[in-house]
Amino acid sequence: MDQGKWIKVKHIVNDRDQGRCVKCHADATDIHHRVARGMGGSSDPQVNYGLANLVSLCRSCHDHVHANPAESAENGFLVKSWENPRDCPLVLADGTLVIYLGNDGTVREYQQQPLF
């Protein structure tokens, strides 16, 4: 990964997420790749550096995402290498808030009504 480009993208993601963990709202410490680079990831720089693929997390939530892959995949924090992250929603706030991230830095939010 080009280090200069990575630093620039990390700043953009941090600004978009207002320096907060998107899961718990604590101070963000990490930038998480939804398509995990260590598990094959993507050879496409548009995915690796794409803003839809990257979210700010605190260390505790980042560890939780990787320690709980089934839950994390269900909630959009882990995305299969053949899927496009911008088409995979992130489920937040006990399932009542769903967001879609765009590679242009946009965030589309949807409120869901709980089923029960």
According to DSSP H, which parts of the chain are helical? 3-16, 45-48, 59-67, 69-74
Q: Full-prediction pTM beyond 0.85? A: yes
Strand (E) positions, 37-96? 54-57, 90-92
Residue 91 has pLDDT above 80, yes or no: yes
Report yes or no: 76 and 91 within 8 Å, Cβ to Cβ: yes
Mean pLDDT of the 4-25 span = 93
Q: Tokens in use for 106? A: 């946009």
Q: Where are the domains of the chain?
A: 3-111
| Confidence (pLDDT) at 42 | 57
Instruction: Name the pLDDT band for 115 (thresholds 50, 70, 90).
Output: low
